[in-house]
Chain A
Amino acid sequence: MSPRVRLTVNGHPVDVPAGASVAAAVAHVTLRFRRSVNDAPRAPLCGMGVCFECRVQVDGITHVRACMTPASEGMQVITDA
């Protein structure tokens, strides 16, 4: 069994394989990552750091691209949708 990391997404505990992205962890809980300027729910589009649709709050820091950030033990992720 490969090592796993545990984190929370909107307070829900999630565990993902080591090396997984925050985006993957969030997707286990919700597909609503952020709200657009007109309040529509949005989720990752490009998967590679270009579109900024995957922005979430990680350990209090806002506007973090979930697809570019590795999930780590004890991380607290909050979505905005």
Chain B
Amino acid sequence: MRDHYDVLVIGAGPAGISAAQTAAAHGVSVGLLDAQPRPGGQVWRHDVQHPLPRSARTAMDHLRGVDFLAQHSVVATESAGLRLETPQGARLLSYGALVLATGARELLLPFPGWTLPGVTGAGGLQALAKQGWPVAGKRVVIGGSGPLLLAAADTLRKHGARVFGIYEQASASTVRSFAWQLRHWPARAWQAAGLRLRLAGIPYRLGSFVRKAHGDGSLQRVDIDTPHGVQTVECDLLAVGYGLVPNTELASLLGCALDHTDTHPRVRVDALFRTSVANVYAAGESCGIGGLSVARIEGAIAGHMAAGHIDDAGALLMQRDSERRFGALLAKHFALDPRLHRLADDLTLVCRCEDVRMGELTGFTDARAAKLITRCGMGACQGRICGTALAELGRFPRGGARPPIFPARLATLAGLANLPSDDAQRGS
């Protein structure tokens, strides 16, 4: 087993796959690792019932000359390389250049009842269904914001779910204006039209959001706020997601500067995808939400750069600029309605790991103080859910990443010099 790669790529979504493939074509040794058991990332996640789109299969078939390291989670950084946890134990890998393609996660906001079994993210339920979660015949309500709700509905429908409705918080006028802007991206307009056609018969309600989930031990019904008043719907599963947030924890641990212009930070890169740390590049949604095409182009640019071929990288820049504008369009049109900030009341749990209620956070203005006193953000998810939600709700920004960035077994951590003692046994 190698312990060094010329180019090591973290995250095997479209960006990472494209970076690995591009770098390998220059003849350097390339490792591509992911915490998941298979390559594909979010959008190309393996589906146990349905084949992936042809473009995804082609991209993965072209991973020749690349070592794919499955179920490898980066948990910490060391001077000699990255500390990884695998089902077989710990590993240390060193690299010449690093490409961070850690992608994005869903923005999940607290509301009364959101901890009931049966309530998931929207992309979350989509991911679970692709991996065999039984949804056939189940009554599903989808809520939140952005085009991911439609993609999730499509997957769930294909898996036999009875999707009762898609409740988009953005207003009818903003969604119409978004659809009109799509004409500048014909491929996407075409995709969107196809999706709408496949989802014909499923109500798509705008200016509507899930206010509350009810159930005794598990989900039974939801209250939905619509422009025409509150509606109550009986259902088995509720899938709610408010868009995507870049995964920046690893970049932050490596010392890469983050861009804090928006509520949720992203990895700061220059025009050629160099981070602020030498020999560390970043691409895809960790650098900002932009979707599949951006991820693939940026991955290719970062792959050329990491392999030392700057001219090849520059040639792709124009193409990606057009695609990035699409990301900006999304952010503008699916901005969250301020009413969503008031969904959680004082009794609503915010930190699901430590069962901290919203009311307990009154008066705190920074994440660290809140964590020390209430334990909010202290649990296994390390604030990825509650810290991100609190930042979105305007309470306080998320605290910085500290090792290990995922809870790790003590054996993995043995010998790590830079481990803060209060975090040593997190998640165990």
| Identity of the chain B residue whose Cβ is nearest the Cβ of A62 in the assembled complex | B428
Contact of B355 among A38, A53, A63, A69 (CB under 8 A): A38
Contact A37 B355 (CB under 8 A): yes
Contact with B along A5-49 (1 / 0, CB 8 A): 000000000001111110111011001110011101111111111
Q: Are B120 and A45 in contact (CB under 8 A)?
A: yes
A31 lies within 8 A of B132 (CB) = no
A18 CB contacts on chain B under 8 angstroms: 48
Binds A, one of B123-131, B163-171, B260-268, B316-324: B123-131
Known A28-B134, A46-B105: A41·B37 in contact at CB below 8 Å: no
Shortest Cβ gap from A39 to chain B (Å):
9
Whether A77 sits at the interface, judged by CB under 8 Å, is no
Closest to A45 in B: B120
Given A45-B108, A46-B124, A68-B37, A21 contacting B427 (CB threshold 8 A): no
Q: How far is the CB of A23 from chain B (nearest CB, A)?
A: 6
B49 in contact (CB, < 8 A): yes
Question: CB distance B355 to A32 under 8 Å?
Answer: no
Cα distance, A25 to B131, chains bound together (Å): 10
Within 8 A of A (CB), among B121-152: 121, 123-128, 131-134
Among the listed A23, A25, A41, A49, which residue makes an inter-chain contact with B36, where contact means beta carbons less than 8 Å apart?
A49
Q: A42-B352, A45-B121 are in contact. Are A52 and B427 (CB under 8 A)?
A: yes
Q: Which chain A residue shows the least CB distance to B218?
A: A31
Interfacial residues of chain B within 41-78, with CB under 8 A of chain A in the complex? 42, 46, 48-49, 71
A51 with B133: CB separation less than 8 A:
no
- Is the beta-carbon distance between A45 and B124 smaller than 8 angstroms? yes
Is B189 positioned at the interface, with any CB of A under 8 Å from its CB?
no
B352 to chain A: closest residue by CB: A53
> Is B48 a contact partner of A17 (Cβ separation < 8 A)?
yes
Q: Is B404's CB within 8 Å of the partner chain A?
A: no
Decide: A32 and B117 in contact? CB cutoff 8 A. yes
CB within 8 Å for A41 and B427 given contacts A24-B131, A47-B126, A50-B384 = no
Please tell me if B330 contacts chain A, counting CB pairs below 8 Å. no
Q: Within the complex, what minimum Cβ distance (angstroms) separates B213 from chain A?
A: 12
Contacts of B127 in A (CB 8 A): 46-48, 67
Interchain CB contact (< 8 A) of A31 among B106, B117, B123, B380: B117
Within 8 Å by CB of B352, from A45, A67, A70, lies: A45
Q: How far is the CB of A32 from chain B (nearest CB, A)?
A: 6
Tell me, rounded to whole Å, the shortest Cβ–Cβ distance linking A59 to chain B: 11
User: Is the C-beta of B118 less than 8 angstroms from some C-beta in chain A?
Assistant: yes
A36 near B48: Cβ-Cβ < 8 Å: no
- Residue on B nearest A33 in the bound complex, by CB: B117
Q: Would B36 and A68 count as touching, CB distance under 8 A? A: yes
Instruction: Kindly list chain B residues whose C-beta atoms are within 8 Å of the C-beta of A50.
Output: 105, 381, 384-385
For the complex, is B379 an interface residue (Cβ under 8 Å from A)?
yes
- CB-based contact B379/A40 at 8 Å: no
Q: Indicate if the CB atoms of B128 and A63 lie closer than 8 Å.
A: no
The CB with the most chain A CB atoms within 10 A, among B108, B133, B428, is that of: B133
In the bound assembly, the distance between CA atoms of A18 and B117 in angstroms comes to 25
Indicate whether B35 reaches chain A with its CB closer than 8 angstroms. yes
Inside 8 A of B126's CB, which chain A residues have their CB?
47
Residue of A47, A50, A68 most packed against chain B (CB within 10 A): A47
Q: Is the CB of B48 within 8 A of A20?
A: yes
- For A24, the closest partner residue in chain B by CB is B132
List residues of B (81-119) whose CB comes within 8 Å of A's CBs: 105-106, 108, 115, 117-119
Q: Is B353 an interface residue (CB 8 A)?
A: yes
If A17-B48, A27-B134, A31-B118 touch, whether A48 touches B105 (CB-CB below 8 Å) is: yes
Is B217 engaged at the interface, CB distance under 8 Å to the other chain?
Answer: yes
User: Distance (Å) between the CB of A56 and the closest chain B CB?
Assistant: 13
* B108, B117, B120: residue with the most chain A Cβ atoms closer than 10 Å: B117
Nearest CB in chain A to that of B71: its residue: A68
CB contact under 8 A between A67 and B355, given known A36-B115, A45-B121: no
Taking a contact as CB atoms under 8 Å apart, the answer to whether B380 and A52 are in contact is yes
Render B221-260 as a binary contact track against A, CB cut-off 8 A, 1 for contact: 0000000000000000000000000000000000000000
- Beta-carbon contact of B380 and A55 below 8 Å: yes
Set of chain B residues within 8 Å of A67, measured between Cβ atoms: 127-128, 131
User: Besides the contacts A24-B128, A51-B381, what 16 more A-B pairs have beta carbons closer than 8 Å?
Assistant: A19-B46, A20-B131, A31-B218, A32-B218, A37-B353, A37-B354, A44-B120, A46-B120, A46-B124, A47-B120, A48-B105, A49-B36, A50-B384, A52-B353, A63-B428, A71-B132
- Identify the B interface with A (CB < 8 A): 35-38, 42, 46, 48-49, 71, 105-106, 108, 115, 117-121, 123-128, 131-134, 217-218, 352-355, 379-381, 384-385, 407, 427-428
Ordered nearest first, which 4 A-B pairs have the shortest CB separation?
Answer: A20-B132, A24-B132, A43-B117, A47-B127
